[in-house]
Structure 1
């Protein structure tokens, strides 16, 4: 019998590094900002936030509104 692998799993970070996921990221941003903030934010502004932590993105777009942050 052959050797068994010690690898138990593989984790992928789908933030655009390994797979082109920009369209999916933008669609997610559009949905979140429209649903949570009631705002339509231009793709250029959304695109500028790609790679930042989600809490930072939403906090910036909420304009400091603590109710949205909590």
Structure 2
């Protein structure tokens, strides 16, 4: 089971599950990251934070702690 944080640049993955509770999970879902959608990892900052991804045709920057909550395959 991998999280979005562990995925290398240039890789497209599919979201399997969102971990987390309440407001944090809701915020991730509001950004368009839901179960079954595909996510392309564009860039990872030198220290790993933030991770820049493309979701549903738009670019998004995620904090490392948020990326850890997204289980992908």
Report the TM-score, using the length of structure 1 for normalisation.
0.25
Higher relative contact order (CA 8 A, sep 6+): 2
Structure number with the higher strand fraction is 2
Structure number with the higher helix fraction is 1
Higher alpha-carbon Rg: 1
Report the TM-score, using the length of structure 2 for normalisation.
0.24
